[in-house]
Structure 1
């Protein structure tokens, strides 16, 4: 309960926030959750995984506190909910809490925006206090960072592996727009196999046409001349099942030479594909 005295209430705010942080860690341990569940997202790793392409300043804006998920350089001091992980920040934290409770003007924070996510450059304690006091928004100077890969789907640090593998795939197979959106694999490591399959297809295409083709051209032609027709045939043959189109295509591409080395496409080959859809 609040006392009405900013000094005492600020002390209680900090102790309550620290207690919640410790209880959250304990709950994660009891549930055997991965270590990165409560980690604040590191800005550097996120933009490296997504592939940074540029940035621009958007100026002062009001942003939702729930959209702040990471930090540029304070990932060890706060958890994912911006609760202090140690008591060493207590003095500064309580000073800001007192100022907030007294209605004093609080300077805006500085953030990077990546998609709909925000990463704090300056103002970690201000964010922590605002969340502890149940505020919903905060003033921020925003710098937008653009990336090759959409940041949607990033929740935990482990999700960066998937994004990084997809970024490497896009570097090797530079699809764009609807074509890129159609590529979806269940296991992110399959992007490497898919890249090799596309590059092999492109090499055979260049041999057939006796000319060099750049990666953009190979990617575009592979999607329209190979991927879409094969997926269409797989659908007609009812060979996709619960998998994504890409997973179904990749399984067929990996098995192509083993199953079709006799240059047949008959019922026996189809039966083998049906019997081993994930081989």
Structure 2
């Protein structure tokens, strides 16, 4: 609804967006969501986690406003992830909103693009006003940043440590894309554990072949000769506990090493591991890491 007075309309619009921001925060708190769920993504931290490989300017583009979720250098508290404003942005926000109400054209904003996500370098207030006025897109000068890992719309600040460890795992264990998609862990430190196990497996495989295996070859051999057979065995035997197939594999691979000190896939492996889960040995009960793995496999 418009009063016909651009300055008054701008004030009303700002107050409306402030209320929406407050209500959104209240709703998130009532859903017991993490505090960072509504925060803008910080560009440098995202790039650091995902691993930039190149940057290229692709010129002026029409960018969907709902894909703009981050910032390059602005304080995160000035706007939330939906670019609803905080009180300290009122003056400039209302001036831009008033100019829009008067029909003045806005210059394109400047953004960085990572996958389908955009991060504002210049133009935060213009994005906020455009969204408040119901626009669906905005003109932007775009610099495209390619990264080792992709970024989806569900990405949150709390996901960045996990993404960073996933990226390092992929560097240490460079699997083809189709195989890499199956490696899913919810704990960042377990990516490091898994990478170490894979490298150990690759070292032994190289000794058997009497040559040093390049990392891509080592990774693919591990996936085909160790990971896939083990995952199939665990599925058939109903072992490994909950979570993803990678989490089940990692538990058993660690338990196999800690309890059995062996790395091959023998016929009695599943039976022996199942016995440890049902009736832990004295060593299993005394060893903290072994006890934790067995507990996870029972859950």
Shift of 1:188: 3.4
Q: Secondary structure at the match of 1:59?
A: strand
- In structure 2, the partner of 1:3 is 3
Q: Is the 8 A contact 1:42 1:70 kept in 2?
A: yes
Is 1:159 aligned to 2:177, yes or no?
A: no
- In structure 2, the partner of 1:173 is 173
CA 1:257 to 1:160, structure 2 compared with 1: closer, same or farther past 3 Å?
Answer: closer
CA 1:3 to 1:104, structure 2 compared with 1: closer, same or farther past 3 Å?
Answer: same
CA 1:25 to 1:237, structure 2 compared with 1: closer, same or farther past 3 Å?
Answer: closer
Q: Secondary structure at the match of 2:296?
A: coil
What are structure 1's unaligned runs of at least 5 residues?
Answer: none
Q: Is the 8 A contact 1:154 1:160 kept in 2?
A: no
Give the distance between the partners of 1:268 and 1:19, measured in 2 at CA.
61
Shift of 1:181: 0.8
> If the length of structure 1 is used for normalisation, what is the TM-score?
0.89
Shift of 1:29: 4.3
Give the distance between the partners of 1:148 and 1:234, measured in 2 at CA.
31
Q: Is the 8 A contact 1:173 1:215 kept in 2?
A: yes
Q: Secondary structure at the match of 2:139?
A: strand
What are structure 2's unaligned runs of at least 5 residues?
Answer: 279-293
Q: Secondary structure at the match of 2:145?
A: strand
- In structure 2, the partner of 1:222 is 222
Give the distance between the partners of 1:269 and 1:145, measured in 2 at CA.
49
Query: Bigger relative contact order, structure 1 or 2, given CA contacts below 8 A and separation 6+?
Result: 1
TM alignment of 1:42-61, pairs within 5 A: 42-61=42-61
What is the aligned residue count? Answer: 278
- In structure 1, the partner of 2:100 is 100
Indicate the structure with greater helix content: 2
Give the distance between the partners of 1:130 and 1:47, measured in 2 at CA.
26
Give the distance between the partners of 2:31 and 2:154, measured in 1 at CA.
21
